[in-house]
A and B are shown apart, each in its own frame.
Chain A
């Protein structure tokens, strides 16, 4: 996906403030990235460049860390981010079929965003609510014991 993100003066200030709050210490890079992702929703290339120049480390190093950890993303999420738990407990209780149903209902792949930017679909590893397997998270809301036929109704709840 091509990012349409254009960095603005106000963004630069936000990034600099975050870096300063961690004393521009390269050892705090992961905390800085957490904060920046919290601020922008994702970590586009321009944001990474700005962090690198502010903290006086190479862009390669920042990108290396961003691409290493699954929590960091360079693509924006949908307004409602759907995460299907693919931990083992959910897997043996049929999470794969639930993912397939989301894929076909939304016509997107795992990791994709719908064209209108409403939903994005991801898999994650174990939210630790194995008693409710299979588990689906949409934003902060947790859906437990989800069966493929319920997917349509769940999506219908989000008619913004």
Chain B
């Protein structure tokens, strides 16, 4: 392999590709060629750097210069100045929002300082379509070490000792899961990777598959060795075309290198991987549903036991793990369980990847040690709330989770603390909300999702969630009563207690946690017919500020229902009973005399 002085890493993840990163790669290559620098610098298409807010990103190593929001026309300057003359292009460097100074390299960016990247270790570092780069970063060394020195049971013990828990939401100890599957004997067993990331607002699995597919392949082979399975299946969303393509490329390369197939590394162990496509059903994140979907059926859950470890895909013992869980596995063997279990809290070891999104300055993908506080995540890594607004809540765990508020900001994040606070880890979506977001509307939004995604098997989930959604709609329309709030709570508890699978058992969580933390907001909706955040259209109160009103009559003419009256050149008045809250007067007024509450 040629030795280059500099590497220009360009993010080729879905987000950055949407903002012309392919064009950037092309231009950088052209410019390098024009200046005859082909032997000095190399452009590498990598996976996601995580800092999606300021994409597309171009990172230059070894000096770690981090250029943000690069445009195709900036490429000439980057190559001429930085690569040829060694001068950084200051205007493209990340600007610290507080000091307004340009940050020289990624190591000094607040976004990266508190992060610890284990599952994302290679994302944004290597070319995911080149197996050699993965191998150069100790790729496939973990499985080699296991073949050389460990029995399957010893390998399982190592994972057990590491304390790794499932990252898909449940948090079940991974080592224990493997052990159960290994003890069930059968002529054929399966390893399944759950890459059906259906949680809206979460994209960590996609980023890992796009940025470091080999780590998942290696881990699946390790799991196969441990439990005695020779077949692996990746259940992946059809909506992720880039991840599918990268995974297919990686599987092909691994086969060519003899790292998948028969007699891997002369160990006598056979293992191969096949892709199965999902077709858009949130419930398929549940193990039994996922397995039915892989069998070509409707993705409806079935009663456990039997657990997949006993009777799974095609009735054979099956071990299902999530993408992020697998991505942690190879490192545990390389650095040792004792290294891994020192990171994190007592019962939640290691790190967690979160997709930070919503009303926050630094939207992106982050990986932090368990036990970090929400405050550190939101205000230090996330750079605080957008447009200087006030923090209101953060939603974790997606449609199955709940809202955490100001009082939870200093709680260390781990599986158990989040559940104790009325939310859950989930797959790692973290949506930040500010004072303009109405919590009743948020609960309604999630319920809308659950109603659509309920598979329809259990009545409490199919009908109950629909009723919850109707009540929330009623409240947002200003027609709710106090009795509705009690009904919401009772019905939520019934749905939780009587649904079969994880979807139904957790679907009322957004309602319960907002009721618990924002009861006043619900009350003002039903008692005062007021939405504090000002987001429920039907509850907006339009009034005219008489000091500002010139009596131009523009609003009177705009109002479709004749709710505004007043003499010419005299302040006008809106009749709240007649007003249909359409906002036409607000749009027409040139004197900002219309006040919306």
Contacts and interface: CB of A to CB of B under 8 A. Distances in A.
Interface string A81-120: 0000011110111000000000000000000000000000
19 contacts: A30-B277, A30-B293, A34-B279, A69-B299, A70-B279, A71-B279, A89-B201, A125-B200, A126-B201, A128-B206, A129-B15, A129-B18, A130-B52, A130-B355, A130-B357, A131-B53, A131-B357, A132-B19, A142-B18
A88 B200 CA distance: 6
Interface in A29-79: 29-31, 33-34, 64-65, 68-72
A139 interface: no
B297 A87 contact: no
Contacts of B52: 129-132
Contacts of A142: 17-18
Contact of A34 (B200, B238, B294, B395): B238
A142 to B, nearest CB: 4
A132 B298 CA distance: 33
B429 interface: yes
B440 interface: no
Contacts of A124: 239
Interface of B: 14-15, 17-19, 52-53, 55, 197-203, 206-207, 238-240, 276-282, 293-299, 314, 355, 357-359, 363-364, 395, 398, 429, 431, 433, 437, 442, 445-446, 449, 452, 455
A148 B211 CA distance: 33
B203 A130 contact: yes
Contacts of A29: 296-297
B296 A131 contact: no
Contacts of B296: 25-31, 65
A39 B559 CA distance: 51
Nearest to B431: A88
A131 B279 contact: no
Contacts, number: 126
A133 B206 CA distance: 17
A64 B314 CA distance: 20
Interface in A1-45: 25-31, 33-34
Contacts of B279: 30, 33-34, 69-72
A155 interface: no
Given A71-B239, A130-B201, 6 more contacts: A31-B277, A88-B398, A88-B445, A89-B357, A89-B431, A131-B363
Contacts of B299: 68-69
Contact of B280 (A69, A133, A135, A144): A69
B212 to A, nearest CB: 16
A64 B299 CA distance: 10
A151 interface: no
A34 B55 contact: no
A135 B52 CA distance: 13
A30 B238 CA distance: 11
Nearest to A61: B297
A27 to B, nearest CB: 5
Contacts of B442: 92
Contacts of A72: 279
A125 to B, nearest CB: 5
Given A88-B429, A89-B358, A127 B14 contact: yes
Nearest to B386: A93
Contacts of B358: 88-89, 92-93
| Nearest 8 Cβ contacts at the A-B interface | A131-B52, A128-B203, A89-B357, A69-B279, A142-B18, A29-B296, A87-B200, A88-B201
A135 to B, nearest CB: 8
A38 to B, nearest CB: 10
A124 B237 CA distance: 13
A70 B293 CA distance: 13
Chain A CB count within 10 A is highest, among B197, B296, B359, B437, for B296
